[in-house]
Amino acid sequence: MKIKLALFTLLLASGTSQPLAAQSFEGPYVGAQAGWTQNKLGRVETDLGTARVNSSKDAVAAGIFAGYNIRPADRIVLSGEAGVLFGFDDRLTRSYKDAVATINPEYSFDLGVRAGYLVTDRTLVYVRGGYENVRASVRLLDLEGPRRGKDNLDGWTVGGGVERLLTQRLSARLEYRYSDLGGSGSKFERHQALAGLAWHF
């Protein structure tokens, strides 16, 4: 009798856990993330003029994100995701000849897609790509006099990571991103390593 009861309990557990596993990484989610950012700037064309920074700086970034997962196939996950990241102590300043240039990437918006594969029912490995826009404060001091203002620097971003379900609703992720926010003779590259937690609805 005890053996039959144990077998019945095992079958019942496996039967109820399978639908939950099938529903993992489906639907909307929101989350928070933080990590390391390295901004590498060269000659940057801004609305105020040319800023010759030619420097890089490591900093901390933190923000929030939201997205939606779909499962077009058994182990394939596709996602649309948007997020905002705030930079801390990432101001870059460079003095050269008779000029001083300062650029402070205050925060950024990103909009992209993810394509992933479930190596287990709870572990997703993915790549991502999309658009990123950085809102920066700019200060220039040269022969034309002092100038200060805001500018939008945008470009593309690619990356990848791994996400693991901790519970049926909560997941943790580790992710790397590379962004190119230059163009038209500008150089603004960004490397990021981010850790995040997401809540799935």
Average pLDDT estimate for 90-104: 87
**Residues of the domain holding 33:** 25-200
User: Quick check: 27 pLDDT over 70?
Assistant: yes
Does residue 5 contact residue 12 with C-beta atoms inside 8 Å?
no
- What's residue 51's pLDDT? 86
Our measurement of the distance from residue 104's CA atom to the centroid of its chain's CA atoms, rounded to an integer in Å, reads: 19
- pLDDT tens per residue, range 54-77: 889 999 999 999 999 999 999 999
Q: What percent of the chain has pLDDT over 90?
A: 68
Average pLDDT estimate for 31-50: 92
Evaluate whether residue 5 is within a structural domain.
no
- pLDDT tens per residue, range 112-147: 999 999 999 999 999 999 999 999 999 998 888 889
User: Whose CA is closest to 175, among 164, 190, 165, 160?
Assistant: 160
Evaluate whether residue 36 is within a structural domain.
yes
Evaluate whether residue 113 is within a structural domain.
yes
Token pair 């870059």: residue: 92
Give the type of residue at 184.
S
Residue 110, SS3?
strand
Token reading at 146: 């002092």
Beta-carbon contacts of residue 3 (< 8 Å; ≥ 6 apart): none
Evaluate whether residue 16 is within a structural domain.
no
List the CATH number of the domain containing 175: 2.40.160.20
Token reading at 161: 């990571």
Q: How many domains does the chain have?
A: 1
- pLDDT tens per residue, range 153-199: 999 999 999 999 999 999 999 999 999 998 777 899 999 999 999 99
User: Whose CA is closest to 33, among 77, 66, 56, 58?
Assistant: 66
173 vs 51: which has the higher pLDDT? 173
Residue 8, SS3?
helix
Evaluate whether residue 7 is within a structural domain.
no
Evaluate whether residue 99 is within a structural domain.
yes
Evaluate whether residue 83 is within a structural domain.
yes
How far is CA 146 from each of CA 93, 131, 149, rounded to the nearest angstrom? 14, 32, 11
Sign of CA dihedral 193, 84, 123, 179: negative
